[in-house]
Amino acid sequence: MAVSLLFLLTLPLGAQHFSNNIQPDELARQLTSVMTDQLLLGQVLMFGWDSNLVEDETLDWIDLGLGSLKIFGWNGRDNQVLAETVGSYQQQALQGPYGIPLFIATDQEGGWVRHVTGRTSVTPGNMAIGASGRAYDSYTSSKLIAQELRILGVNMNFAPDVDLYGNWETSIVSSRAFSSDPHETAWLANAWFHGQQDSGIIATAKHFPGHGFGDKDSHGGLPVINRDLETLMAADLVPYEVLIQQGIHAIMVGHLAFPLITGEPIPASRSHFFLTELLRHDMGYKGLVITDDMIMQGARQGDESLPELCELSLKAGADLILISRSSDTHRRIWNYLLMKMQEDGDFKNRVRESAYRVIRIKAMDLKGPNAVPIIPEQQDFSQLLPHGDMRNFNLDLAYRSATQLRGEGFQFSRDDKILVVSEDRRFAQHGETYFNNADFLLVPGNPQPGELTAFRLNLKSKMQNYDRIIISYSGGREGFLLDELEPWADKITVVLTRNPYWIFNIPWCRSALATYMDSDETIEVAMAILAGNLQPQGILPLKRGDHF
């Protein structure tokens, strides 16, 4: 930090600088009026980097003016190293000509989307919050997650996920959703937003205008969603309306096609109608529009090159273009967009407009007493993470959210002979705690040819030896067992540790519990419920059908 302070002392009196104590609007106007094309462009791009260490190439990008970085899963495994790396990158940014710090973003939704790992907490997630039905749980979960992020120097979080759980045939949203109900989603998402905001983290609602009814994962292709505008306004857009009214500063647009609205199957991430006409003009949104990763296949429809697609997104109204990797891709996009700015005055003005919005939000959120420290303090993160209140809160939320999907209560006898079948050894550990006679069969993780068949035959041969069988089901390898176990349906209880929809795949199942996540706390609570120590409290936050 001493280097940046020394740099500030060398500035001429009255020079434009991010540290100037003026209103965010005016500061952003002043800075964007004097910035070079290269510096303007840098403010509208967000890059990933390839390791958890400081990379010279990323430092070079920051020297050129890059204004934002995104932490992906491959960057976030060692918290100590991550904090040091973030600090080095921010030091470099502060030494730039206007001292503008970086957005440091990540995906830390709670539940199974958690890009900063290491010692950070695993929470029950959004659908567990929906099952508890308490805004308190949403706010507290968000605030505790935010407290962990801020000590690492993360100042922007791509959460909450406000997609409705609509198309149960796809798994990309599943338990990331709060609910299938738009008003319930809006209420809980608003509490989540305030938990981030009150901790100084910039919350980012996603995936506009709504991924929940998509027919596929936008990482692998372009979801085509056949919903008209009236339906969208009455459902998927309700959470955005509420969050915009509450003052959210960032919204992520998804690579999602709505041909009944736009007349063509193009991603919303480059649709002028969605980003400018609807979101800006009709819904009155004044914050940042951030694209989902442009490397995703859902973005790359048509004959345009990736740099051209980034240009189209900016022209449509996006403010911040996210590109995860690689170095060659970053270089091609940068060079192409810089050339376009020099050739096309209208496009340059469009970039300047977005750079203004970026700097305005930075001035609003990265300065002041509640802001995330730009340079993370050098601390012993093994003493700080996980957050001290998280364990007890997660246990409480796991208990309040656990939901009986089928059956009429659980109360296995402590002396029953129990067989626990799972690909997760933690089920065995907790089974031994709650039952006197519990055996465990581990589902093969990386099976060799024939190994799954042998496992299935072994399991079937053991079924008659047990009073009760508990099978955990995450939608993974356990699924291959279920079709052949119907003859023992009276003995079997299935614990769904992710998506409750997977019960649809087991029509014969008569006893089922949903935990919505496979964290230590949700597994512990599940076994306590099956042992009769607790009663499930959650209410399924989805419309019930004949399958439940």
Catalytic residues, by residue number, are: 219, 292
Kindly give, in sequence order, each residue whose CB lies less than 8 Å from that of residue 56, ignoring residues fewer than 6 positions away.
none
Do residues 333 and 307 lie in contact, with contact meaning Cβ atoms separated by under 8 Å?
yes
Could you give the CA distance from residue 233 to residue 251 in angstroms, rounded to a whole number?
A: 16
C-alpha angle 419-422-428 in degrees, rounded to nearest 5: 60
- Rounded to whole angstroms, the maximal C-alpha distance in the chain is 85
**Burial class of residue 21, CB neighbours in 10 A (0-12, 13-18, 19+):** exposed
Whole-angstrom Cα distance, residue 177 to residue 192? 12
Identify each DSSP E strand in 100-219 by its residue range: 103-106, 108-110, 113-114, 156-157, 202-208
Q: Among 113, 117, 118, which residue's Cα sits nearest to residue 158?
A: 113
d(CA 181, CA 543): 8
How would DSSP label each residue in 413-428?
-TTSEEEEEES-THHH
- Short-list 314, 358, 354, 356, CA closest to 333: 314
Inter-residue contact 54 to 88 (CB < 8 Å) = yes
Q: How far apart are CA 528 and CA 548, in angstroms?
A: 22
Which H/E stretch holds residue 468?
A: strand 468-473
